[in-house]
Amino acid sequence: MALLSAFGYGISDFVGAIASRRVAALRVVLVSYPIALVILAVLAMAVGGEINQGAVFWGALCGVSQAFGIWWFYAALGSGPISVVSPLTAILVAGIPVGAGLVLGERPSAIAAVGVVLALVAVVLVSRETTDQDVAPHKFTPTVAWLTVGSGLAFGLNFVLIHQAPVDAKLWPLVFARLSASVLVLVIAAVSANLRPPRGTPLRLAMLAALLDAGANVAMLLALQASYLSLAGVLMSLYPAVTVLLAIVVLRERVTRWQVLGMVVAVGAVAMIAAG
């Protein structure tokens, strides 16, 4: 489930990035989040589960982290090189759950621990800088760097917070997370004069991103409920491999030998974590 979540996040991030290169990132999220909310609510009602205080509290808190994370992330992807922003964000996304898991008392097996270290190395290798040929070069500026760091911290915290939600609530924590995130996005959009949805291709891309994001979130919660936070978190942080591959194929971003090595190391890391 963790790898399925990573796959969904990777494609969703790429689709959102393309849309954010045509309109403001906030306008993309303004469409994708409410649609994902409806999808998750329908799934939650179908699956069942107990709506309790823990589901509401941890879900809502997670939603605040999600809102800022996706806003800053799409803004960074829209302005900077996708094959740099996405993997650098993933370093923090992987590191925070691993650290939190260890603090909470998780002790993965030796082979799984080595796999975690290799996964972190893989993320660093995949993040080796490249430039793209998508109409105009997208540079990794200081602004893009701050947006990247902020989104990485927010996304990493997102995993930690949703992991605290009670298992018997099933998918309801995701619903409350997306509800609070959608409300926050609406407020931010209104204050920043972005309270208008995109049209044409960006609108269609935002809708596709919502579908992918909803599926990735369900897989994320199931993975966190079935495994250690430190292990599931690092596996889900491998999503940049998918994003980078799409950037290489679609946007003709150049892949380096280090990035290829990183992807190979990532495969080995996944195998070790799964075996552990």
| pLDDT tens string 124-137 | 676 555 544 444 55
Query: What pLDDT does 135 receive?
Result: 45
**226: number of Cβ within 10 Å:** 11
* CA distance linking residue 86 with residue 241, whole number of Å: 9
Q: Report pTM.
A: 0.76
* Tokens describing residue 32: 């994708």
pLDDT, average across residues 5-28: 81
More confident residue, 91 or 173: 173
The percent of residues in the chain predicted with pLDDT above 70, rounded, is 86
> In b/e form, how buried is each residue of 143-162, taking b as 16+ CB within 10 angstroms?
ebeebbbbbbbbbbbbbbbb
* CA distance linking residue 140 with residue 85, whole number of Å: 8
Query: What pLDDT does 29 receive?
Result: 84
- Which among 208, 170, 216, 210 has a CA at the least distance from the CA of 38? 210
pLDDT, average across residues 140-165: 85
Mean pLDDT lowest among 38-47, 130-139, 159-168: 130-139
Q: Are 43 and 172 in contact (CB under 8 A)?
A: no
DSSP 8-state symbol, 134: S
* Tokens describing residue 271: 């195998």
- Which among 83, 75, 77, 67 has a CA at the least distance from the CA of 154? 67
Query: What pLDDT does 103 receive?
Result: 82
Question: Inter-axis angle of helices 200-226 and 25-47, to 10 degrees?
Answer: 50
Domain boundaries of the chain, sorted by first residue: 2-275
pLDDT (tens digit, 9 = 90+) per residue, 71-127? 787 778 777 776 677 667 777 777 787 778 778 787 777 777 777 777 777 766 765
Residue 139 — very low, low, confident or very high, per pLDDT cuts 50/70/90? low
Q: 105: which residues sit within 8 A by CB, 6+ positions away?
A: none
Residue 208 — very low, low, confident or very high, per pLDDT cuts 50/70/90? very high
* CA distance linking residue 110 with residue 272, whole number of Å: 10
Q: 204: which residues sit within 8 A by CB, 6+ positions away?
A: none
* CA distance linking residue 195 with residue 213, whole number of Å: 21
Query: What pLDDT does 191 receive?
Result: 86
Mean pLDDT lowest among 1-15, 159-173, 242-256: 242-256
Q: 217: which residues sit within 8 A by CB, 6+ positions away?
A: 5, 36, 40, 174, 177, 178
